[in-house]
Amino acid sequence: MTESSPPAYTSPILTRISKTKIDTHSDDRDLYSGLIRLHILHHAAHEPIFGFGMAEELARHGYRISPGTLYPLLHGLEKKGYLRSSETRNGKSLRKIYRATPLGRKALAAAGHKVRELFGELIEGK
């Protein structure tokens, strides 16, 4: 086991330290937090999301995020008015479902312009 990889008995989703496949320097984690918020908002604008499902989606893109990090992000986006939650029954338990609000969709559209501009500078050298 290397210093940068989690122990074999842990799930990447449950690992407390959020790192990406792209960069494993823990000092760079704060650079990705905005991208993770945009990713969450993007999915919530297209379909209802829930915490564990979103953790799996983020893991698919290389973001290892623990519930202790993800749920405060979701609650923060809701508090700012970008997401709205509701509870639905999932078997015997309740599941909190999040959807983007009109304000969240507007913020996402504005962020899309900024991301395209940044992408042009970073990738296309414009």
Q: What is the pTM of this model?
A: 0.73
Domain 26-122 fold is Arc Repressor Mutant, subunit A (1.10.10)
Closest to 41 in 3D by CA, of 83, 3, 4, 90: 83
In the numeric block, which tokens belong to residue 124? 């296309």
* 63 secondary structure, DSSP code: B
Average pLDDT over residues 104-118: 93
What are the residue boundaries of the structural domains of the chain, listed by start? 26-122
Handedness of CA 17, 20, 21, 27 (dihedral sign): negative
Higher-confidence residue of 38 and 126: namely: 38
* Predicted local confidence at residue 24, as pLDDT: 44
Cα end-to-end span (Å), the chain: 41
1-15, 36-50, 65-79: which has the minimum mean pLDDT? Answer: 1-15
Higher-confidence residue of 98 and 20: namely: 98
